[in-house]
Amino acid sequence: MRICETAKNGLSAQTSNYYLQSIKQFCRWMVQDGRASESPVLHLSKTNARTDRRHDRRALEPDEMRRLLEAATAGPKRFGMEGNERALLYRVAAETGLRFKELQSLKVSSFDFKACTVRVSCAYTKNKKMALVPLRKTYKKFLL
């Protein structure tokens, strides 16, 4: 039996596969610990997550990026930031590839204005190593 019915409930195939893996691990522990004689979910199989792509990632086209930055700049204050601040944040995010938590962790001291780099603490990076990310030289006018 496949868990493809979960797609009807709004779960992606990848999410249902993660749930299934957790349930199978729990049931395997139940059998190993003697709390169950056999796993009731052993026969279930994962679905092919590649066939259920809901959000294929892609880079924004230059025109899409330009429109996003213009809309942010002209937009009202949101998330505690003025439009021009949000536009700069979106641009940094797009050009550096920093993740949400990495961006959220940045402080003024994270930036080296002379070298035009930003330092992300190891506590916030995915690989738990400090990251030194170069910024484009065009940022100097914003940073100085």
Q: What is the pLDDT of residues 60-94, one digit of tens each?
A: 899 999 999 999 999 999 999 999 999 989 998 99
One-letter amino acid for residue 129 of the chain: K
The whole model's pTM is what?
Answer: 0.59
Which residue bears the tokens 């992606």? 12
- Whole-angstrom distance, CA of residue 74 vs CA of residue 56: 28
Report domain extents, the chain: 4-51, 59-96, 107-144
Which residue bears the tokens 């959000």? 55
Q: What is the pLDDT of residues 90-108, one digit of tens each?
A: 998 998 999 999 999 999 9
pLDDT confidence of residue 6: 47
- Whole-angstrom distance, CA of residue 32 vs CA of residue 14: 27
Average of per-residue pLDDT across 19-44:
96
Average of per-residue pLDDT values in the chain: 88
- pLDDT above 70 covers a percentage of the chain that reads 90
pLDDT band at 51 (very low <50, low <70, confident <90, very high): confident
- Whole-angstrom distance, CA of residue 59 vs CA of residue 67: 14
Element (H, E) at 90: helix 83-96
